[in-house]
A and B are shown apart, each in its own frame.
Chain A
């Protein structure tokens, strides 16, 4: 039996405006298993990012509850690398540790290990403007991994990159996450990206978001995201989820 690290029960999110209440998320329930790569897909503005904000306590929920261990540490990786241009790569990588005041020697050594492992150590004294988009994204991931999260929330982390970098960086980030054995919830509106990376995909409806379907992604030869795109079952999943999304052009 899989070990569950998070359970979301009947989560509802409403926003209050002067024009009335807006129902963004309408009753969502799901579990997150330890070590899995869970991807949430849905059309733009359906409430995917709101869900991640709620999970990381940046926003409050209206109804329902989230069951998790108090000691569960959550790391959040955003749509852009959000590196601070006035800090060096090293200073950016330890930013979370500094803010949380946990910049112990042990944690700093871990950041240095990650920088070395992912070929960024030689650039540690350089500034973000000297790095490529992909390298910056790797630094952003290391900044998130530095606080040793049990659960990683990825909010469309590749959306600011061009198509080719996107493929390469998603491959890169996937390998790092698997190597560091992290549990992930990623949201994206890119179906191919979702299928190529996910163990499980949750398809959300348009606003107000509800769960339309959940897919266990069982490819014939699961490998890295780029290779997974060539898998025989890839297009089958693509067609099924595309129909679920009910895209009107």
Chain B
């Protein structure tokens, strides 16, 4: 089949637009980085307070060379993994119980709403007293932040399943197990993926916040330590590493989403 002139023109226009957007984004980032570098080196910006891109890169390379980066990265990723997976499993279980037991849902509904609106960082100091100044407190902080939002998102997905489909399953005398595994959970895939996305970003916030409060290693610790000793290169290196972590985690979730929706 031959492609029409209009189709070729449309495709070219589409590609041109994509390239323009990408080029503009690269130019904006480059201008910002170069201006920052120039302003710091020429004395327009105080290098001690604002650092500069080349110093940040140097700091990261130094951390790679002396092995510090792996230690801190491992700590943070480990805490993220634990908070994320435990939070997700707990959210899933809680959402299923809430869905199957309407009375339980009615009982805990106001508590969930209040807990959801509470800034969890306020509980942080108490967690340290209860669980000690260690990684356990940080993981619990991460779970506290992601659990309720994930639970409500998954539960909402369960609630949105079409009544007609539920009636169909009941007309076939489906058991609760069949209803959950063959209809409710597969039907709520999109909500579960939304919960994954929310969970990732919430966990990252929780873990870094936890590391700010209590830690001897981790990216959050690097940032806090850098601030205390006025080493802004270290602080910004920590932030750049965090950006890279969150970007990679986001890509992983998008990849999972694509596999599920295939």
Q: Residues of A with Cβ closer than 8 Å to B?
A: 56, 58, 76, 78-80, 82, 84, 86, 95-96, 98-100, 147
Q: A78-B164, A78-B167 are in contact. Are A84 and B173 (CB under 8 A)?
A: no
Expressed in whole angstroms, the minimum distance between the Cβ of A5 and any Cβ of chain B is 18
Q: Are B165 and A82 in contact (CB under 8 A)?
A: yes
Complex CA distance for A196 and B186, rounded to whole angstroms:
39
Q: Is the CB of B164 within 8 A of A95?
A: no
Instruction: Contacts A86-B186, A86-B189 given; indicate if A80 touches B164 (C-beta within 8 A).
Output: yes
- B-side contacts of A98, CB under 8 Å: 182
Q: Which of chain B's residues has its CB closest to A99's CB?
A: B172
Across the interface, do A84 and B165 meet the contact criterion of CB distance under 8 Å?
A: yes
Please measure, in the bound complex, the distance between the C-alpha atom of A242 and the C-alpha atom of B25, giving whole angstroms: 67
Which chain B residues lie closer than 8 Å to A95 at the CB level? 172, 182
B187 part of interface (Cβ distance < 8 Å): yes
Q: Are A58 and B186 in contact (CB under 8 A)?
A: no
- Chain B hits for A56, CB < 8 A: 171
- With both beta carbons as reference points, the residue of chain A lying nearest to B169 in the complex is identified as A99
What are the 7 closest A-B residue pairs judged by CB atoms, nearest first? Answer: A76-B171, A99-B172, A82-B168, A96-B172, A99-B174, A82-B164, A82-B165
Chain B 169-191 residues near chain A, CB threshold 8 A: 169-174, 178, 182-183, 186-187, 189
In the assembled complex, the CB of B168 is this many whole angstroms from the nearest CB of chain A, namely: 5
Whether, in the assembled complex, B68 has its beta carbon less than 8 Å from a beta carbon of chain A, the answer is no
Q: State in angstroms the CA–CA spacing of A95 and B164 once bound together.
A: 15
**Binary per-residue interface labels of chain B (43-77) against chain A in the complex, 1 for a CB within 8 Å, 0 otherwise:** 00000000000000000000000000000000000
When chains A and B are docked, how far (Å) is the Cα of A96 from the Cα of B167? 12
Within 8 Å CB of A79, what residues of B? 164
Shortest beta-carbon distance from A140 to chain B in Å: 9
Q: In the docked arrangement, what's the CA distance between A95 and B172, Å?
A: 9
- For residue A67, give the distance in angstroms from its CB to the closest CB of chain B: 21
Partner of B173, one of A80, A82, A86, A100: A100
Q: Is A100 within 8 A of B164, CB to CB?
A: no
Closest to A79 in B: B164
Binding site for A on B (CB under 8 A): 162, 164-165, 167-174, 178, 182-183, 186-187, 189
Chain A residue numbers with a CB within 8 Å of B169 are 99
Residue of B nearest to A76 (CB): B171
Task: Give the residue name and chain of the A residue nearest to B172 (CB).
Answer: A99
What are 20 A-to-B residue pairs whose CB atoms are below 8 Å? A56-B171, A58-B167, A58-B170, A58-B171, A78-B171, A80-B164, A82-B164, A82-B167, A82-B168, A84-B183, A84-B186, A86-B186, A86-B187, A95-B182, A96-B172, A98-B182, A99-B172, A99-B174, A99-B178, A147-B172
Q: Are B172 and A82 in contact (CB under 8 A)?
A: no
What is the CB-to-nearest-CB distance from A18 to chain B, in angstroms, rounded to a whole number? Answer: 15
For B172, what are the chain A residues with a Cβ–Cβ distance below 8 Å? Answer: 95-96, 99-100, 147
CB distance from A91 to the nearest CB of B (A): 10
A75 to B167 CA separation, bound complex (whole angstroms): 12
CA distance A100 to B167 in the complex (A): 15
A82 touches B186 (CB 8 A): no
CB-CB under 8 A from A80, the residues of chain B are 162, 164
What distance in Å separates the Cβ of A159 from its nearest Cβ neighbour in chain B? 11
Does B173 contact A99, Cβ atoms closer than 8 Å?
yes
Residues in B neighbouring A78, C-beta threshold 8 A: 164, 167-168, 171
User: Which residues of the other chain, A, contact B174 by a CB distance below 8 angstroms?
Assistant: 99
The residue in chain A whose Cβ has the minimal distance to the Cβ of B167 is A78
A residues in contact with B165, CB < 8 Å = 82, 84
Nearest A residue (CB) for B162: A82
Q: State A79–B178 Cα separation when bound (angstroms).
A: 22
CA separation between A119 and B166, bound complex, in Å? 28
A239 CB, nearest partner CB in chain B, Å = 33
Least CB distance, A167 to chain B, in whole angstroms: 22
For the complex formed, measure the closest distance between the CB of B256 and the CB atoms of chain A, giving whole angstroms: 16
The answer to whether A84 touches B171 (Cβ under 8 A) is no
A147→B168 CA distance, assembly (Å): 13
